[in-house]
Amino acid sequence: MAHLAGQAMNVLNWYDGLVEQGKIKADARQLTVVKILHSFAEQLNHPIENKRGLLFSRKKKTMPQGLYIHGKVGRGKTLLMDGFYLSLPDMPKKRVHFHSFMRHFHQQMNEHKGVSSKPSSGNALSAIAEDLAKDCRILCFDEFHISDIADAMIMKELLRELIKRDVKFVMTSNYAPKELYPNGLARHLFIPAIKIIENDFTVMKLDGPSDYRQLLLGDSEVYFSPNNDENKKKMQGIFDKIACGIYLEEQVILQGRSLKAINRTSDAIWFDFSDICQKARSQIDYLRLAERFGTLMVSNVPQLTGNKLSDASRRFTWLVDVLYDRKIKLILTTEAPLEELYAANSNNKQESANSNNASMDESGRTLSRLREMQSSSYMKTQAID
């Protein structure tokens, strides 16, 4: 169950509490954003209706259609948005990673067209917007970004349809509104969506010299062996440090399938090895995780020897490759020390020479990458968008 640790009354109290407890350092830029998020939450919680049926705040004559927070990675955009989101416990709301939302939206569009005798993209989009508005008064998009013409055209119309139904927004992005879809095909058709954000949203830049992803982990130990209760507590301590009081639903959806996590927060997710590598997973699954999280944690990694673990070992290699390529942090507990993770096993004698060579090459590359991924220089590297 998603919750804000300590059940903070509002996002401002939550943020002040983190600073007082020494969990984060006071940041004037973050505090400015938090105050605006708090004000927006107050307006959402205490609206009044005028004679024309428009919603106004008791404190201000009008309220923005949404908030748009942009800036470099690691500055706390998603963390602050999630603090805001969880401070609205009784409000119909939805919090989604933008790319996941768009994949699901395209699927819904196809389903609507499939059941209609006269398919119309406009009718399908309006119907989806209507359904969404019934269950969602505030929609939070994490990592808003437009990369193709189909998404550009959908978002232009979807924003209009949802605004007509008085759905409010909070968005985080690495890009200022004017930087969205910069060299895209027929970009001029997306300009109206940019104008909506610039004119009807409160746009805030959250930037600064500090990448908090780097500061949180820094020179911390990130690989623990063996798989015991002591090291599980160390993993929990690291997760709580990253979470800053934000605990989201443990289930995530990848490629339409539910995946169980031990814990999840704004920028980190924690799995048991059996769930992430010993069940049917693909490289695309791991890529989706790398798109959404700056840190992955995996507990109970066994010694990867023997035919029974060959599939899991291959998936673990895929996982490491994807995370390494995108410079995502990886924290592990393992049965054996890193150098013994792929120790020779007598059960492998029946494998062919070619298979052994391929396995040795693969495990050697994985070990090399794991060594680099625990280094201070790697931990201080910025994740790749």
pLDDT digits (tens, 9 = 90+) for 138-190: 999 999 999 999 999 999 999 999 999 999 999 999 999 999 999 899 999 99
Q: What percent of the chain has pLDDT over 70?
A: 86
Out of 3.30.460, 3.30.450, 3.40.50, 2.60.40, the CATH code matching 212-379 is: 3.40.50
Specify whether the CB–CB gap between 255 and 289 falls below 8 A: no
Q: What is the pLDDT of residue 55?
A: 44
The pLDDT value recorded for residue 58 is: 42
Tell which residue, 308, 329, 333, 309, has the closest CA to residue 319.
Answer: 329
Residue 350 clears pLDDT 50, i.e. is over it: no
Q: Is residue 9 over pLDDT 60? A: yes
Strand-pair category, 295-301 with 268-272 = parallel
**pLDDT the model gives residue 114:** 64
Check residue 122 and give its pLDDT.
Answer: 67
Cα of 380 vs its chain's centroid, Å: 19
Greatest Cα-to-Cα distance within the chain, rounded to the nearest angstrom: 82
Cα end-to-end span (Å), the chain: 29
Q: Model confidence at 225, in pLDDT bands (50, 70, 90)?
A: very high
- Whether 357 shows a pLDDT value over 70: the answer reads no
Q: For 3-205, CATH number? A: 3.40.50.300
With CA atoms as reference, report the closest residue to 303 among 331, 330, 332, 329: 332
Instruction: Report residue 326 as tokens.
Output: 């995108």
Mean pLDDT of all residues belonging to the chain: 86
Pairing outcome for strands 168-173 and 263-264 = unpaired
Q: Residue 24: is its pLDDT beyond 90?
A: no
Angstrom distances, CA of residue 319 to CA of 141, 229, 262, 328: 26, 25, 17, 11
**335 pLDDT exceeds 80?**
yes
CA distance 223 to 330: 8
Nearest to 269 by CA among 245, 233, 239: 239
Tokens of 177: 């509104």
Is it the case that residue 300 has pLDDT exceeding 80?
Answer: yes
Instruction: Say yes or no to pLDDT of 53 above 80.
Output: no
Give the range among 91-95, 104-108, 219-223, 263-267 with minimum mean pLDDT. 219-223
Helix (H, G, I), strand (E, B) or coil at 131: helix
CATH 3.40.50.300-classified regions of the chain: 3-205
Taking 80 as the threshold, does the pLDDT of residue 217 lie above it?
Answer: no
Could you give the percent of the chain with pLDDT greater than 90?
Answer: 64
Three-state DSSP class for 295? strand
Q: Which residues pair with 205 in a beta bridge?
A: 70
142: which residues sit within 8 A by CB, 6+ positions away?
78, 81, 95, 96, 97, 98, 172, 292
pLDDT of residue 189: 92
Q: 133-147, 172-186, 207-221, 349-363: which range is least confident on average?
A: 349-363
Measuring CA to CA, which residue among 277, 263, 274, 370 is closest to residue 315? 277
Give dist(CA 364, CA 85) in Å, integer.
44
Question: Are 341 and 371 a contacting pair, CB within 8 Å?
Answer: no
Least confident of 51-55, 196-200, 305-309: 51-55
Query: How far is Cα 365 from Cα 36, in angstroms, rounded to an integer?
Result: 47
Average pLDDT of the residues in 258-281: 95
Lowest model confidence (mean pLDDT) among 42-46, 260-264, 332-336: 42-46
Q: Which residues contact 342 (CB under 8 A, 6 or more apart)?
A: 303, 304, 305, 313, 363, 366, 367
Residue 51: which pLDDT band, with cuts at 50, 70 and 90? Answer: very low
CA 244 centroid distance within chain: 15
**Residue 188: DSSP 8-state:** G
Higher pLDDT pick, 61 / 335: 335
Q: Residue 1: is its pLDDT beyond 70?
A: no
**Residues across the chain:** 385
Q: In whole angstroms, what is the distance from residue 36 CA to residue 71 CA?
A: 16
